[in-house]
Amino acid sequence: VSISWQKDFELIQPDQRREVFPNGTLFIAKVVEKKRFSDEGVYVCVATNRNGTRISSPAQLRIASDLPSSNLFRLLTCDRLISDLSHFHSSPAPSTVTRGQWVTLSCLIEGIPTPSIRWQKNKLPIEQTTSKRFHFLPSGILQIENATTEDSGMYRCQATNQPTNRFRYSDEGELTVSPGEFQPLYSLTSDLCVLPDVIPVAARITHGPVSAVASPGDSVTLHCAAMGFPVPTISWNTPDDQPVVASENVRLAGQGSLLITNITADMAGSYTCDVKQEGMRGMLKAAAQITIVVPPSVNLLVMGLATELESKPVHHTLATRVFRLTCLMEGTPLLNVTWLHDGSPILSYSRFAVEGNRLRIQPTTPSDSGFIQCMANNRAGYALATIELMVTLADGTPSPPANLRAEAVSSTSVRLTFDRPLDPFVMVYTYHYMKTADGKERQEVLYDNTQLFENLSPFTNYSFYVIAYGELGGSDPSDIVTVETKEDVPKVAPVATVTSAGATALSVDWPSLTTSEACGIVTHYQIWSRVSDQQDSSQVMMRATSRNHYLCLYSGLKPDTLYNVRVLAETAVG
């Protein structure tokens, strides 16, 4: 077995920085992170023997640019390195509230691992023991209960990433707490004394919950904050529309944030924040979705036979058959799927058809023998399922057609000929052809060794190969030949736009034709013009270039006159 490594599915060539040890370990010294090249990426170990090639589960490498230079080396494992702190996605916003209200200040920044957040007022740390009115939530939100004028000031947060101890400050946001005044709803009279009351203020949600994605065992915080008078109360409903009840791993914090620790898969769903006001009708609602990511698992289904991920199945089939493979996947959220043949990604082309988690090879050839793998991944990780495919020729099958020749007869037809196999028992030939660019294969079954293919696209590359069939099965495919159909006249005329460029001039512009529209190489453009009520026309020739847009200025025309203008494209054919 030989061991190599790939980064982002490209082979790593050992050099002065990168070395593969005899035990297969990849050693990277002097890790690089530049705009043009970075060692960050997805790495796989590639094992090859005489039966084929297969890859390991991927490992993602991330680099911390602030690590000391003495640590800038790595023996590649599946561990992730610490990344830089990002810039703050949100900083404390300037706020003005009335005394007695709730205040919510937020900071949002990303990093690996999750940065710790500490708050400062007027550039001095706010200790968590400062006041019971201050609520420090895990996601970096600070809530102040029953705000007072003394709470006014400039607030910012400090994000620190361990173990690098790098930190970054957010922008400052000014909090202003006004004293507020009670406003009587009724006047006092000598006949009746009515206690003063305040004018109610309808509630509004100032910080609604944001959907979250978590893995089993993670902690999730859904925030919900509101303002109004009387002070609103906040409660939560579970995905099955039942009130949230505090438990060992579920509690409310601050004004009404929902904290869930050690989350499990059955806690996924939509959670609703209900905002109510005493003496007010109705309520406000805001919802957020919690998605629990489940690591992927995959199995392979071959011709109705399920094979487990842990097993090492070998599937035997004959050449020229149809081989279908389905990747049975589980995991949340939706999975990305990659098919691999001997460690290289499989794309839909010619005999290979990839449709999501389904793979079809038609017809099979001995060159398809090797390891076929389905790799599924989401943010929770990767999973691989592997099958070894063995394709053999049946005894007594014909030899492949030889000396395949393709000749472009016209812009829409190609003649294909080949030397017949010497085998006397050839019954039929299948001709396989496709546009080289898209690989969508078509077939024709014929009895002769020459065939004229018609109704093809002009000035287009086509690829051909032939398989000979006898009573016991098909031969190996012949060599592939590629030919370009001849040029033709353009399929359409350019779409021109004509505008006035003054009293005696017109501006004519048009985009160049696409390859399929041109049906060849456009050599010239012809610009024809005439006065609309006359038959005589004038012509201007413009040589075609590689530009994408053309502009022609007609001058010396009659003022206040209607002209007809058209543009034609010309190839070598016409």
Domains of the chain listed by start with CATH number: 2-75 (2.60.40.10), 95-178 (2.60.40.10), 201-292 (2.60.40.10), 294-387 (2.60.40.10), 402-484 (2.60.40.10), 497-570 (2.60.40.10)
Query: pLDDT, tens digit, for every residue of 146-204?
Result: 889 999 999 999 888 776 677 888 889 899 998 864 343 334 444 444 444 557 788 88
Query: pLDDT, tens digit, for every residue of 262-313?
Result: 998 889 999 999 999 887 777 899 999 998 888 888 888 886 554 444 445 7
Q: Is the pTM of this model over 0.85?
A: no
Per-position pLDDT tens, the chain of length 574: 889 999 988 889 998 889 999 888 999 988 887 777 888 888 999 998 888 888 888 888 877 644 333 333 334 432 233 344 556 777 888 988 888 888 888 887 776 667 888 899 999 998 877 678 888 887 788 888 888 999 999 999 988 877 667 788 888 989 999 886 434 333 444 444 444 455 778 888 888 898 988 888 888 989 888 888 788 899 999 999 999 988 888 988 888 889 999 998 889 999 999 999 887 777 899 999 998 888 888 888 886 554 444 445 788 888 888 899 999 988 887 788 999 999 889 988 888 989 889 999 988 888 899 999 999 988 888 888 899 999 988 888 888 899 999 999 999 999 999 998 887 778 899 999 999 888 888 989 989 999 999 999 999 999 999 998 888 788 888 999 999 999 999 999 999 899 888 888 888 899 999 888 999 999 999 888 888 888 888 888 888 888 888 888 878 888 888 988 899 999 999 9
18 close to 28: Cβ distance less than 8 angstroms: yes
Count H helices and E strands in the chain, helices first. Answer: 1, 50
Ordered DSSP codes for 292-359? E-EEEEEEEEETTEEE-TTS--EEEEETTS-EEEEEEEEEESPPEEEEEETTEE--SBTTEEEETTEE
C-alpha distances in angstroms, 185 versus 194, 195, 198, 277? 9, 9, 6, 19
